[in-house]
Structure 1
Amino acid sequence: MQFLSLASSIARRSHGPAILAAVFLTGSASGALSADNVNLVRELAGRVGPIVGSSQACTSIATRRVQAILTKFQEAIREASTNPNDRNELAREFERNIAEGRAAVNGGRADCRLVERQLADLERSVSAPPPGPATSAAPAGANAAVSTARPAAPGDVRGVTDQEIRFGMVIPYTGSAKENGQSYKRGIEVAFARSNAAGGVHGRMLKLIAADDGFEPSRTPEAMKLLWDRERVFGFLGNLGTPTAAVAVPFALERRVLFFAPFTGGSVVRHDPPDRYVFNYRPSFVEEADAAVRYLLKMRKIRPNQIAVFGQNDDLGEQGFAGVARAYRAAGLNDASIVRLVYNRNSIDMDEAVAQLKAQKVPIKAIVMVGTTRPAAKFIEKTRDLFPGMIYTNMSIVGATALAQELMLLGPRFTENVIVTQAVPAVSGYSSTVLEFKAALAQASPGEVPDYISLEGYVAANLLIDALKRCGPQLDTERLVETLESTRNLDMGLGASLNLSRGDHQALHKVWGTQLDRSGSYQPIDLE
């Protein structure tokens, strides 16, 4: 039977819009559509879209169920017409109806129990074979089996066996950020070693496999491909870099693979709404920049026109600068005249930035720095004696311990007024996580000195381990994503709880403050 007559037959039986739409979806998968069905797709978009949108807004409904319907309908749109304009119009119509469905739930105009029944009706029809001429449509019901949501067996999931779960990590082994990459990797490995020593996650050992991209986006695809194709990892954990993330994230999303806790505060991993497979532990560049600016204005009494921004001449520096500008606007200040000093990635040539600083008519008294260890240390070295009272605030990506080591080699005076915002509490403190980390580090890597980045890697990995445990022994990516999105008020001994949801894939929004002393140690400071 042709699709149109089948759909009409089901419609005449009055089994409801969900059944009609489901038959449409089943028909689309079988290739029964043609260019003449555009109007029918448009009509069905008005019926399926609100159910999808309402289901998205009901937190009791698993995301993977909604995603399965979305995928089916997107296939239907692609097959409905060969005309790109028709397809785009249908996609926009579908999105509008999805938005209306979300608004109905959020506005209290739809009951999630009814939405659940509508979705189950839709699912059962999609998973069942199309009815023949003598077959009536199945009755609606909330307890229908959903084949698309069935978790895969362990042997069917890439990177997962009965004995092991494999994660990949792309970091620089060379270049200006290599110390940060090694520290972050060390922290993750310590968390994995601690978990493995306790029997692993549901009996599976956690394994981390790293690949090198040299902190160069042009090399990132090759490193990602190596881990995905050759090492066959389950997901990506702890990739380092903002410009490299701009390349790595599309790679992961195209393959629907987890991209967890990258070491970047950039917006490329913080879309609104969030990308389904991308999750962050750390605060954003905007949040760190906002904390630094408010500290300089309120605590150090620096005037707005006496603050400059120093950063890489790429996405990293661009987003750091945007964060400072946003902090200015939030404080009711004009951001148009902020001085911006730049340097090239993987370079320690600071001559241009220093010349810009010296040329300012209004003396600059504080600099918000957005860079990695060696460029930051070199800039401080070049400007300390020229501007003795200068305050340097660095974002956590600088690598606090490595920066302190670089500056101490130059002499104690280079550590004065050097501040670093952090994504974890003070390593010198006595929070339960810090003490646990130090003990685990001593066990796994005797002689290694704990630092802020390795501590962050440890915390981020434990956030993932918590979700893996809650996910259960039958692991797959979709199930793990839903488990992560159900993280509520997780207390890891940081002094701040961690939360993840469908609408917010960043677990932490708190920023800590630290300042170097003349001995090269960081002391906690109040940022406001």
Structure 2
Amino acid sequence: MNFRWSALLIAGLLATPALAAGTNADVVRGLAARVGPIVGSASACQAIDQGRVQAIVDKFREVIREASGGGADRDDLTRVFNGYVADGRSRVGAGQTDCAAASRQLVDLERSLGQAAPPQTTAAVLAPSTAAAATAPTATLPVQNSGNVQGITANEIRFGMAGPFSGASKELGRQMKLGIDAAFSRANDAGGIGGRSLRLFAADDGYEPSRTLEAMKQLYEKDKVFGFIGNVGTPTSAIAMPYALQHRALFFGAFTGAGLLRNDPPDRYVFNFRASYSEETDTVVHYLVKLRRLQPRDIAVFAQQDSYGDAGFAGVAKAFRSLGLSDSSIVRFNYKRNTVDVDEAVGQLKAMKYPPKAIVMVATYRAAAKFIEKTRDLYPNMIYTNVSFVGSTELSDELMLLGPRYANGVIVTQVVPAVGGYSSAVLEYKSALEKYFPGEAPSYVSFEGYIAANVLIQALKRTGAQLDTEALIDTLENMRDLDLGLGAKMGFGRAEHQALHKIWGTALDDKGKYQAIELE
């Protein structure tokens, strides 16, 4: 059955109440196998007007609504249709279909639908025979927007972010949001996603897991967001991620390198931009042992006493094992989350007969600065390192308030290039920051938020007009060799939900500026 007669038959079925819903569903299922791949191929081609694609998608959703016998049937038909759409997109991505062919098929489909649909009246209309169909008047099925997908309207796509906007770590939340907002604003000024603006809703959890669930509920159940981006923290993500998974909502680009977001195989709805804490600490341990020539006994850990600190410590232990070293004797000093109470850790360090020569810190900026303040004069040659979550710019600011000697030489591993550089990604980020948030200084945290948001924006654009969570994830899992000017390409796969694995090394100078260092 060609498209013209398929479209005619669907139009007749919709207008004939006497026909059984089961019959309708069978026909729609067959039509989905024909329409879906064409829609998918067209949505993957940027040169094709996505409004045309969306018009067909909206018509088909109306067909599904009319043909299904209830919620479960409707969901099943929608999944079938979405699957065929995803197949069409993947064919373009794999080079099996080119955009010229996709455009021709779309035109043929538009003509078929335009000829097929009869006027929609309250009068019963019998399904047209082949002869009658040849002279059927031209009309279209009702066009609807994506209102049946939460967080997507005709005008906007809503994302949510739970993070600390109060408390000791509030600058991490503010900066992460700043970067995402800058990327969203830049995309919106360029026409948005198929004419829809991106909008970010934020909820404050204070970096306290006990508040995270309410923040997530506010975003998903009250603000009606489509998905989540940029959530801040490991202990809070331990609460937020299961909530997102329960609702099959995208959980993208969280500001944490913890392993709990990096399961093997990966959770379908969880995607990471940044390298993991394990990768950061592995890199810095190798640097200390191989380049700085330290013995294993010379390395200790100062970590937050929660899952964030545990993740970093586990990375150090893994690095020791990869070097053929025992991890049983690694000394760990702790402090409590959302405090700068480091006295116990400092006391334990002072009590050591043979103090370490390097401290790998898995801390936030205020606690890290306080620990350095209380130990720098006691151990002037101590090497301090920290992972990127510390908030590099904020750590520098804290240390420079104490004096240049506290800042000089402090190492921070980064998951983005140096913000003081001149790469195309950095220049674009700084330009967006200056335009949308004049007066805000560049920050490693906001830069990470900016890049993570741009990875998502690319996926949204590639998904095209037929946008829902499953379609977006299919697109993400087929993204390869994405180049945003970082000096390293990014991508995802079905077994790979982390876009980037590269680690950059930086060290503070006596002016509080980060200088690039080689880590290997």
TM-score tier, shorter chain, comes to 0.7 to 0.9
2:345 corresponds to 1:390: no
What does residue 156 of structure 1 align with? 148
Question: Which fold has the larger relative contact order, with Cα–Cα distance below 8 Å and residues 6 or more apart in sequence?
Answer: 2
Q: CA deviation at 1:149?
A: 2.8
Query: For residues 456-475 of structure 1, what are the structure 2 equivalents within 5 Å?
Result: 456-475=448-467
Q: CA offsets per residue over residues 477-504 of structure 1, 9 Å max, x none?
A: 0000010111101111001110101101
Relative to structure 1, is the Cα distance of residues 350 and 147 closer, same or farther in structure 2, using a 3 angstrom cutoff? closer
Q: Per-residue deviation at 1:237?
A: 0.5
The amino acid across from 2:407 in the alignment is T
Residue type of the alignment partner of 2:278: V
Question: Are 2:515 and 1:484 equivalent residues in the alignment?
Answer: no
In structure 2, how many angstroms separate the alpha carbons of the residues matched to 1:494 and 1:147? 38
Q: What CA distance in whole angstroms lies between the structure 1 residues aligned with 2:216 and 2:248?
A: 14
Q: Supply the AA of the counterpart residue of 1:437.
A: Y
CA–CA distance in 1 between the matches of 2:367 and 2:79?
Answer: 50
Deviation of 1:146 after TM superposition, in Å, equals: 6.0
Instruction: Tell me which amino acid in the other structure corresponds to 1:432.
Output: S
Q: Given residue 505 of structure 2, which amino acid in structure 1 is its aligned partner?
A: G
For the residue of structure 1 that corresponds to 2:421, the secondary structure is coil
Is the 2:408–2:512 contact (alpha carbons within 8 Å) kept by the matching residues of 1? no
Compared CA separation, residues 502 and 153, structure 1 to 2 (3 A): farther
Aligned residue for 1:206, secondary structure, equals strand
Q: Aligned equivalents of 2:80 and 2:446: distance in 1?
A: 37
In 2: Cα distance, 1:274 partner to 1:329 partner? 24
Give the aligned partner of residue 214 of structure 2: 222
- State the shift of 1:153 in Å: 5.7
Partner residue of 1:362? 354
Contact 2:145 2:153 in 1 (8 A): no
Q: Letter of the aligned partner of 2:254 in structure 1? A: P
Which residue number in structure 1 is paired with residue 232 of structure 2?
A: 240
Structure-1 separation of matches of 2:357 and 2:350: 12
The counterpart of 1:444, out of the listed 403, 428, 436, is: 436
The alpha-carbon deviation at position 128 of structure 1 amounts to 10
Are 1:338 and 2:322 matched, yes or no?
no
| 1:166–1:235 contact (8 Å) kept in structure 2 | yes
Equivalence for 2:311: 319
Which secondary structure does the structure 1 equivalent of 2:519 belong to? coil
Task: Report the secondary structure of 1:207's partner residue.
Answer: strand
Alignment-derived partner of residue 95 in structure 2 = none
Q: Is 1:203 the counterpart of 2:195 in the alignment?
A: yes
TM-score, normalised by the number of residues in structure 2: 0.73
Secondary structure of 1:227's counterpart equals helix
- Secondary structure in structure 1 of the residue aligned to 2:511: coil
* 1:177 CA drift (Å): 1.6
Pick the aligned partner of 1:371 from 358, 363, 381: 363
**Which whole-Å CA distance do the structure 1 matches of 2:447 and 2:392 have between them?**
11
Paired AA for residue 405 in structure 1: D
Structure 2 match to 1:417: 409
Normalising by structure 1, what TM-score? 0.72
Distance 2:417 2:499 in 1: 15
1:289 aligns with 2:289: no
- Calculate the aligned-residue CA RMSD, in Å: 1.7
Q: Secondary structure at the match of 1:393?
A: strand
**2:221 alignment partner, SS class:** helix
Would the aligned equivalents of 2:145 and 2:154 in 1 still touch at CA under 8 Å? no
The count of residues paired between Structure 1 and Structure 2 equals 389
Structure 1 position 262, deviation (Å): 0.3
Mapping of residues 498-509 of structure 1, within 5 Å: 498-509=490-501
Q: Is the 8 A contact 1:170 1:220 kept in 2?
A: yes
- C-alpha deviations, 1:220-262, integer Å up to 9, x for none? 0000000111100000110000000000011000000000000
Structure 1 residue ranges without an equivalent (≥5): 1-25, 27-61, 63-126, 130-144
Separation of aligned partners in 2, 1:219 and 1:153: 35
Unaligned runs of 5+ in 2: 1-21, 23-39, 41-66, 70-75, 83-143
Question: What are the superposed Cα offsets for residues 178-230 of structure 1, whole Å, 9 maximum, x if unpaired?
Answer: 11111111000000000001110110000001000010000000000001111
Q: How does 1:248-267 map to 2 (within 5 A)?
A: 248-267=240-259
Deviation per CA, 1:111-132, whole angstroms, max 9, x where unpaired? xxxxxxxxxxxxxxxx999xxx
Q: Which amino acid aligns with 2:307?
A: D
Aligned-pair distance for 1:267? 1.2
In structure 2, the residue matched to 1:495 is 487
Contact 2:232–2:254 (Cα < 8 Å) also in 1: yes
Corresponding residue of 2:134: none
Query: Does the 8 Å CA contact 1:171/1:240 hold for their aligned counterparts?
Result: yes
SS of the residue aligned with 1:369? strand
